[in-house]
Amino acid sequence: MAATLCGRLLPKAGWVPLTQSVRHGSKAVTRHRRPMHIIKQKLMAVTEYIPPTPVAPPGALTPRVRKIEEESGLAILLRKDLETLFKECKMIAVVQNNASNAEDMQLLKHRLKKHNINVKFFPNQVMRSFLKDSIYSNLLPLVIGQTIIFVSKEPKVKEMLQVLRGNPQMVLLGACIENTLLSYQGVLNYSKLPSMTTIHGELVSGLTMMTSQTVSILHRHPAHLSALLQQYVKQQGTGDTTEAVLDKDAA
C-alpha cells in the first residue's frame, strides 16, 4: 500500500509537469512625452482664455455718507456757560479727579467755597469743542479722563493750593490765570508772588521816597548857596571893621 502510494505521488524520471511558472517583470518604458514646441507654446499663451472680472454690484462702489451728529441743546447750553466762565473768571484751574468719593468731594467744595472758589463739572466733549476754537487751545492736552475745574473771579492761588494739599486724590494739571496759561510749576511760582496790596504799598513808598529825595536835592543847592553868601557877607563885614581900626591907629 505504501509502495503504491509512493509510486503514484512521486514523479517519475523524465516526467515534465504540465504547468510551468513564468516570472513577470515590470514593463519597460518605451515612449516618453515629447515637449511642446516653442511656437505652439507661444500660440497657446496668446490664445489662452481670460475670464472677465465680475462686475461689482451697483451699490458697492457708492461712497458711504456719514451722518453728522448735531449738538444737543444741553451741549450748546453748557458750552455757553463755559465761555461765560472763561470771560468772567480770572482763575480757571484744571484738576484731575482720581477716584474721589462723594463725601470728600462735598468737603472739598465746602473748603473752596470759603475762599470764593467754585467747583464746576463739564463733559470732556463739551470742553474740547469749546477749547479747540478758542485762544485757550493749549489746555486741550489736559482734558483727559475725569477732570474738573476750579473757577474764581480773583486769582486766589495760595488758598487753592492749601486746600489741595489736604486732598491727595485731586491733582492739579494746569491753570489759566489772568488770561495766561500756566503749568503746575508755573502755578507754584505764581503763588510765591506778593499780593497786589503789598505791591501797591511798596510802589507808593518807593515813589514817596523818590519825591522826598528830589525835593531835598532841589533845596540843597539854594540853601548851600545862601550859606556861602552869608559867610561871604560876614567876611566882608569883618574886613571893613578891621580896615577902619587900622586907619584910626594910623591917624
pLDDT tens for residues 125-175?
888 888 888 888 888 888 888 888 999 988 888 888 888 888 888 888 888
Give bridge partners of residue 113 from the DSSP assignment.
Answer: none
pLDDT value for 246: 46
pLDDT value for 245: 41
C-alpha cell at 170: 485731586
Choose between 49 and 67: higher pLDDT: 49
Choose between 155 and 232: higher pLDDT: 155
As a CATH number, domain 74-191 is 3.30.70.1730
In sequence order, which ranges of 93-195 are alpha helices (DSSP H)? Answer: 102-113, 124-131, 157-165, 184-191
The CA distance from 219 to 155, in Å, is 45
Choose between 82 and 226: higher pLDDT: 82
Rg (CA), the chain: 57
In the chain, the DSSP E strands lie at 91-97, 118-120, 147-152, 170-177, 181-183
Which residue, chain included where needed, has cell 501797591?
200
C-alpha cell at 151: 473757577
Instruction: Spell out the domain ranges in the chain.
Output: 74-191, 194-233
**pLDDT category of residue 239 using cuts at 50, 70 and 90:** low
**Could you give phi then psi for residue 153, rounded to 5 degrees?**
-75, -15
**pTM tops 0.75:** no
Distances (CA, A) of 145 to 54, 124, 221: 49, 8, 72
Choose between 120 and 228: higher pLDDT: 120
Give bridge partners of residue 172 from the DSSP assignment.
Answer: 95
Q: Report the pLDDT averaged over residues 52-60.
A: 77
